[in-house]
Structure formats: structure tokens, C-alpha cells
Amino acid sequence: MTAAAPGPRTNMGQPVPRYDAAAKVTGRATYASDMPLDNPAYAFLVTSAIAKGRIDRFDLDDAKRVRGVIDIVTHENAPKLKESKLYSNGGYAGTTIQPLKSAEIAHDGQIIAVVVAESYEAAREAANRVKVSYSAAAPTATFDSPGTTTAAAKGQNSQFKEDPKVGDFAKAFDAAEVKLTASYETPTQHHNPLELFTTSCTWMGDNLVIYEGSQYVHGLKHGVAEQLGIDADKVRVVNPYVGGGFGSRGSMTPRTAIIAAMARRLNRPIKLVPTRDQGFTITTHRAETRHEIKLGASRDGRLVALRHEGAEVSSRPDAYCVGGTKTTTRLYACPNVDSLVSIVRADRNTPGFMRSPPEVPYLFALESALDELAVKLNMDPVELRRINDATRDPIDGKPYTSRSLMACFDEAAKAFGWSQRSPQPKSISDGDWLIGYGCAATCYPTLAGPSAARVRLQRDGRTRVEIAGHEIGTGAYTVIAQTAAERLGVPLEKVAVFMGDSDLPPAPVAGGSNSTASTCSAVMMVCDQIRQRLFKALMPSDSLADKAKETVGISPAPSTQAAKSDRSLDIEKAFDALGVGVVEEYGEWKPEGAPLDSFRAMHSGQVRLVGGHQMKDQIAYAFGAEFVEVRINRFTHEIRCPRLVGAFAGGRIMNPRTARSQLMGGLIWGMSSALLEATEIDERNARYVNDNLADYLVPVNADVPGVEVILLSEEDDRINPVGVKGLGELGNVGTNAAICNAIYHATGQRIRKLPVRLEDIEL
């Protein structure tokens, strides 16, 4: 067994290799732009060179002269498309800025023309020969730029209903023995999944097939149908593999309907492969944020007052915000809490979710502030968190379904060697390198959404699972196959899983760490429907059928061994009794507390995720603790992070191999959010400056020497039938704070603005 496949602890599945492993190492895995098309034309985008103003005139003569050009579309001749509302307002779109509709420019890099040609090379050349005359206005770039408007998020964002508060913060803060006020900043970031934001559209009569990397095929299908004004049943989105999502492919972008409409007009498949830099402006991003934290505590470390004020930048028309105060006001026991989230509008494209959207920026502020408080109290930061550990949601008083935060701290601290740490800053060094240790908590809400599935079982045990889930690298194929194999008692290698196709039964968006909980709960339920039919065929008496029923819903899956020895015999006999060759079941599962319109919404491409703090009688979060070592060169100020140790508790771990990998990737993302990633903005022109993979820094292999992931055993039967909390976003929360806390320990310098650059270090 390799380090990649840790042996399962209690309440963990087997670390089997990925279902899609062979396809991925041989190049057979087909991503959207790998799909064969019959005689495609190639599209190339032209994007705006200004951020605000209008287009006066296009000169297309030069472009049209390029050999092989077929069509050039601008706002003057573009196919008419219906507008789609934001996904959060009952629509499907990630932005309401619809390009090619008018001469107006709302942000830099907006699509202003599309060239279609016989070859990619000709389309690219012609796009570069499109000449545009603009009337440019002075754009507003970001915080502090002239022309921003600021207003409370509450009341303008339908998903941000309340600023959490409890008790009397002002009074308690005034009276607190120890006080801290500190401000923090996080930068704009771009997901940069390695697969470009490609779209291929092909029509067969009235039916449209879209090949596009998507984290929500049913949403994209309905959104494009709405924009084209056609029946959603005529649109199919296919993407069996997605080359990374991280939130960037969760909602519809304007490009898809444009390409679909152009392909219809041309009566020929069109393939669009946007460039990497275009990806920075034709999709979404993580917005830059600012925070002020106020903490009041007693001398023994008990929090008595906590206030978190956050501000986020959004576009002019869309009130997007992540509003992470919903989590930061609930993480620690504190009787007096206040919060406020504001949205700052600028001439930018609309932001969107990026891996752990609320928690990455908001916990950076809180977990940094907690470390600052620990220093003021002269207290170990782990002990400060222990003193303020909560068993109930401090805002609403609801109990946590399970909470292993301190168990995570203890296991990670032990593995890291935290007890060896001398708390004094600048107390550890190795030659020219100052060494610092730091830690922080992570948490992420446990969410799930309605999901359907179809399962088909043959007499010989061959099983086919159909569900429009998404393989974005999480191991979705693998854990769904494991669920079906365990539940039906068939060998894993006999299970085939079909996903990433909107013709399959709908599953939720692959976002918010809900996929495993939602899809595996649905698959488990449908497998149980099959078991019931088989049991009934074998033993038609009521009592036994009742016994079979007991296995439906919230019950642990049968152990693999037991399933293998009993059930395979059952299956053959049951098929004989039934007199059929195939048993197929379809079912729709929804989590407890899902709204009444859940299934209707599911079939309309809309997601109703529930959980976290919005449950009726309880609150559900996954927790973890992260410890890091930083080394800072005392002469060059170079910052390295040789060690990342994280311990995580996420309910049932379906597959320790895929779980470990996802959390490991998360930890590295967290390190990156502290030390590398930032989209730099030219404040005069409201443009992204470093819009490529050389200048937008992401980690490479040499940046990541040592990562250790510890998976804790945790059982939670109150969250969903499979008992899964979700891990995709847990790993990269808090890491940024842990690193800044370690930098403080190494240097005595507190850095409150990300990312930390070597010029920020003053020694």
C-alpha cells in the first residue's frame, strides 16, 4: 500500500484506485474539446480592450480578407438571445452582463466579436485583424477607486438574507479585559483550471449537443435553452470528464449560447477554444475582500465579543457576494456577536464561486485575528481555540450534528510536533533561515441537494449506474461505483458509471462540497429499491419485505464481505423468481429539510442545496486543523513552506485515497492563496494584468515539498443517508491564516494582506 492509499480507519471505505484511472493515464479520457466533430468551423473571440465606454465602430475589412474566414459576429449582427437571470435569482447565468447585445462595454475583456473560420489559425489571425474604435470612459477598478458605490449585502443579494448577530456586542466589547481590532485583505483570484473554457456546439436538426466542461450539466442545458428560446429537451450537455472546476464552471457564461446560436445559423458544428487570458474575463473569479475583526476576551481567553465586517467587490449590475460571516460568527462560542457584509460595485465582470468561496477570505481574517489574540493573551493558539470550542451554534443555539475540531487539532499537532514549538517569535532558525510554526482551524458547511439516479442490474451482477454527476477530479465516478457495489453486493469491477451528460437523471451542481453526499445518497436509495424488488421476489411474505425495507434510508451499508457471500446468490435466485433479465430502478432523493419545490427545481436545472446553519434543529459543518512550517531567508526574504500538516473530520470517508488526494490538493491551494495567487489589477484601466499562467502564480512541484493529510474517524448519521460531510473545500480553508501566523512566529511581523510577497517581509 502506497502513501497515496491510506488504510481505512473506522467508518471509511476501501482506498480502491480511481474508476477512471486507466482512461486518464492513457489519454483516452475525453474532455469537452476532445470530442470528435463532423467538419467543425473554429471560433475565436475578440474581447474588449477598454473596461468602460462604448464601441463606436468596427472595421472588419482586414479581418474578412483572411483566407478561410466564414463569419464575423458583433453586436450589430449577432443572433438575438434571450437574457437569463442570475442562478441566484431563479435563472442560470453567472453574470447578467450579456455581450454582443449593444455597443456598451461593462468590463475589460468582455466579448465584443466572434470570428468563425475554416481553421483555428485563420480564426485567430482574423480576430487579431478586427479593428475597433471605442469611446472610452474612466473605469472604476476596485476598492478605493473613484466611482465605487457601497451598500449592505442584505437586501440586495437574494442569498444573503441576514447579517448574523446575537447579544450586545458593543457593550461586551467595551467591557472586555483584552481587546483586538485588526483589518485584513485578500486579493482577486482566478480559478485557472487547466482545461480552457472551451465550447463545442453541434446541431442535429432541432437538437443541440453542447460539449463544454461544466460543473452543472442540467443547469447549463436549461440556461442555454432559455437563451435560445427552445425546449430544454432539445439541448444536451455532454462532458464525461472535466479538466478542473474549482467553481469556474458552476454557472452558465455568455459564451455558450452565442456559440450555439452561431452554429445553428451556420448549420455546421463550431468549436471555440478561448485563450488562457480570455478565460480571465469571460468567466468568473474570486473577488477581492476587506475585513475588520474586533475581538473581546477575558484574561483567561474566553471570547466575550466578536464582530466581523466584510466588504467584497462585485460588478455594476450583479450583487454577488460570498458573505462568509455566516461561518465566522458561528465557529467559536461567543455570547455577543455582530457582523456586516457590504458589496462594493466597480466596472468589473461579475465574480463567482471559487473553491470555498466564503471561507477562504473570511476565515483568513478570523483565524489570523485569533492568533493575534493568543499573542496578546500569551496563550497557545491551540488552547485558545479549545477554550472557545462550541457545541452549539452561538447565533441560533442549535447543536452541531458532530464537531471534531479539537480532535483534529490534537491529531495534527501531534503529527506536526507542535509541542516542540517555543512560542517566542524569531526563536527558531537554521543557518540563514528563520523558521516559524503556525496553525489555524478550517471548517466548511455540510450541504446536499436533490438528486436522481437510475441503476440497472443484470443477472450476472453487471451493474450500470446513470446519474448526471460531474467528474471534476474529485473521484465522483469512483465513490459512486463503490456505493453501488457495496449496496448491491456485486464486485466493483462489474459496476459501470455514466455521468456528465444532461440526458441522464439530474444531480446537483458539483459545488459546495455536496456531490458525494447527494449523488451517493441517491444511488444508495435506488440500489435499495432494487434490493427490495429482489427480496420481494424471493420472499413475498410481508415480514421479509419489511425487513428489506429497513435497509432503505438511513442505515449503514452492508459490509463488503457479507454482501458478497449472501447477495450474489440472492441475485441469481431472485432473477429466476422474477423471470426477468434485467432489473432497473429510477429514484429521486432529497435531503431532509429540502424545500417543497426541490424536485421541480431539480428538473429545471436549478439547485436547492440545504444544510450548514440553515437546518431546522441542528447545524452541520466539517472541521479540520492545519499546521504549517515556514522558512524565511533572513537576507533575501524568500518565503518557503516546507511542511503542511492537516487533520480533517468529514463524516464517512468513502475512499481514503481520493479523500486524501483532494485534501492534499486543498492544502496546497491554501498555501498558494497565502503566498502565490493574486490577479493584479491595473487601477487606471480596470484590467487584469497578469492574465496568464506564467504571471498568475500557481504552485508547481518545487513549491510543495511535504504535505501530510490525516483522516479522522467520525460518524454522523444526522446529516444524510451516507453520512458524508464533503471534503473538496475543507482543505484550503484556514491555510492562508496558518501561514501568516507562522510568518509572525518566524519574524515577529504580522502580515494582514494576501498574498505575502518577499518585499512585505521587513527584517
Partner 1 sequence: MPDKPGSRSSGFDRRAFLAGAAGGALIPLTARAASEDARAPAAQDPALPVEVTLNVNGKDKRLSIDARTTVLDALREHLKLTGSKKGCDHGQCGACTVLIDDRRVLSCLTLALAAEGQEITTIEGLATDDRLHPMQQAFIDNDAFQCGYCTPGQIMSAIACVKEGHAGSEADIREHMSGNICRCAAYPNIVAAVKQAAPEIMKG
User: Please, which of residues 30-89 interact with partner 1 by CB under 8 A?
Assistant: 30-31, 33-34, 36, 62, 66-68
Contacts to partner 1 from residues 727-746, by CB under 8 A: none
Q: What are the cell numbers at 440?
A: 489555524
- 493 part of the active site: no
Output the 3-class SS for 692-714.
CCCCCCCCCHHHCCEEEEEECCC
* Binding residues among 343-382 for partner 1 as defined by CB under 8 A: none
- Catalytically annotated residue among 125, 195, 714, 729: 729
8 binds partner 1 (CB under 8 A): no
Minimal distance, residue 26 CB to partner 1, in Å: 6
CA distances in angstroms from 742 to 332, 517, 557, 691, listed in the order given? 22, 34, 43, 30
Q: In the complex with partner 1, which residue's Cβ is closer, 245 or 611?
A: 245
Query: Looking only at residues 157 through 196 of this chain, which bind partner 1 when binding is defined by CB under 8 A?
Result: 192-196
Give the strand pairing for 111-117 and 41-47: antiparallel
Phi-psi region of 461 (alpha: psi -120 to 50; beta: other; left: phi over 0): left
- Alpha helix (H) ranges present in 437-514? 476-488
Rounded to a whole number of angstroms, the minimum distance from the CB of residue 662 to partner 1 is 7
Site string for partner 1, 701-720 (x = CB under 8 A): xxxxxxx-------------
Cα separation, 281 vs 691, in Å, equals: 9
Q: Of 371 and 501, which has the nearer Cβ to partner 1?
A: 501
Point out which span in 122-130, 532-540, 597-605, 680-688 binds partner 1 (CB under 8 A): 122-130
Strand positions, DSSP E, 81-198: 104-105, 111-117, 131-136, 149-152, 178-186
* SS3 state of residue 62: helix
Q: Which of residues 668-697 bind partner 1 (CB under 8 A)?
A: 668-669, 672, 692-694
Rounded to whole angstroms, the Cα distance separating 32 from 36 reads 9
- Alpha-helical runs (H) found in 502-567: 515-538, 542-550, 560-562
**Strand pairing report for 433-445 and 447-448:** unpaired
Strand locations in 92-155 (E): 104-105, 111-117, 131-136, 149-152
**Distance between CA atoms of 78 and 24, rounded to whole angstroms?**
38
Q: Rank residues 58 and 744 by Cβ distance to partner 1 and give the closer one.
A: 58
Please choose, from the candidates 464, 445, 439, the residue with its C-alpha nearest in 3D space to the C-alpha of residue 454. Answer: 464
Contact string (CB under 8 A) for partner 1, positions 546-585, x = contact: ----------------------------------------
CB of 585 or CB of 677, closer to partner 1: 677
CA–CA distance, 115 with 127 (Å, rounded to integer): 6
CB 668, min distance to partner 1, A: 4
SS3 label, residue 366: helix
The closest alpha carbon to 319, from 590, 130, 88, 530, belongs to: 88
Contact stretch for partner 1 (CB under 8 A) within 337-345, 359-367, 528-536, 699-707? 699-707
Residues 486-515 that bind partner 1 (CB under 8 A): none
Restricting to residues 461-490, name those near partner 1 by CB under 8 A. Answer: 471-475
CA distances for 261 relative to 461, 544, 677, angstroms: 44, 56, 36
Q: How far apart are CB 540 and partner 1 at their closest, in Å? A: 46
Is 13 a binding residue for partner 1 by CB under 8 A? The answer is no
Nearest distance from C-beta of residue 265 to partner 1, angstroms: 22
Question: What's the closest the beta carbon of residue 273 comes to partner 1, in angstroms?
Answer: 7
Q: Minimum CB separation from partner 1 for residue 667, in Å? A: 8
For partner 1, the closer CB: 88 or 690: 690
Q: Tell which one of 100, 235, 263, 273 touches partner 1 (CB under 8 A).
A: 273
- The residue (of 17 and 540) whose beta carbon lies closer to partner 1 is 17
Q: Rule CB under 8 A: say whether 403 interacts with partner 1.
A: no
Size, binding site for partner 1 by CB under 8 A: 75
- Which value, to the nearest 10 degrees, does the dihedral of the CA atoms of residues 362, 365, 368, 373 take? -120
Q: Kindly state the cell numbers that stand for 720.
A: 444524510
When the beta carbons of 89 and 692 are compared against partner 1, the nearer one is 692
Calpha distance 137→604 (Å, rounded): 40
Single residue of 147, 244, 425, 556 touching partner 1 by CB under 8 A:
244
Comparison of 120 and 498: residue with beta carbon closer to partner 1:
120
Smallest distance, partner 1 to C-beta of residue 209, A: 17
Among 19, 92, 246, 280, binds partner 1 (CB under 8 A): 246
240 interacts with partner 1 by CB under 8 A: no
Contact flags string 274-313 toward partner 1, x per CB under 8 A: -xx-------------------------------------
By the rule CB under 8 A, 664 interacts with partner 1: yes
Q: Which amino acid is at 42?
A: Y
CB of 199 to partner 1, least distance (A): 14
Rg of the chain on CA atoms, in Å: 27
Q: For residues 123-152, which are near partner 1 according to CB under 8 A? A: 125, 128-129, 131
> Among 76, 60, 56, which Cα is nearest to 133's?
56
**Is residue 676 within 8 Å of residue 36, measured between CB atoms?**
no
Stretch that binds partner 1, among 270-278, 367-375, 535-543, 611-619 (CB under 8 A): 270-278
In the bound complex, what is the minimum distance in angstroms from residue 629's beta carbon to partner 1?
A: 15
Closest distance to partner 1 from the beta carbon of 277 (Å): 9
Q: Between residue 199 and residue 238, which ones bind partner 1 under the rule CB under 8 A?
A: none
Q: CB-wise, 203 or 211, nearer to partner 1?
A: 211
Query: Cβ(269)–Cβ(207) under 8 Å?
Result: no
d(CA 683, CA 83): 30
**Going by C-beta distance under 8 Å and a sequence separation of 6 or more, which residues neighbour residue 241?**
20, 23, 24, 29, 30, 31, 471, 500
Say how far apart CA 673 and CA 283 lie, in whole Å: 20
Read off the DSSP letter of residue 567. Answer: I
- Of 197, 241, 280, 444, the one binding partner 1 by CB under 8 A: 241
Q: Which grid cell sits at 477?
A: 465516478
Interface residue with partner 1 among 376, 699, 749, 760 (CB under 8 A) is 699
242 binds partner 1 (CB under 8 A): yes
Stretch that binds partner 1, among 50-58, 310-318, 359-367, 698-706 (CB under 8 A): 698-706
Instruction: Pick from 378, 543, 700, 759 the residue near partner 1 by CB under 8 A.
Output: 700
**Smaller CB distance to partner 1: residue 27 or 579?**
27
Q: DSSP letters of 266-278?
A: HTS-EEE---HHH
Shortest CB 124 distance to partner 1, Å = 8
Quick one: 130 or 455, whose CB is closer to partner 1? 130
Site for partner 1 contains 340 (CB under 8 A) = no
Site for partner 1 in 644-663 (CB under 8 A): 657-658, 660-662
- Residue 474's alpha-carbon distances to 215, 352, 511, 605, in angstroms, are 12, 20, 11, 22
Active site residues: 729
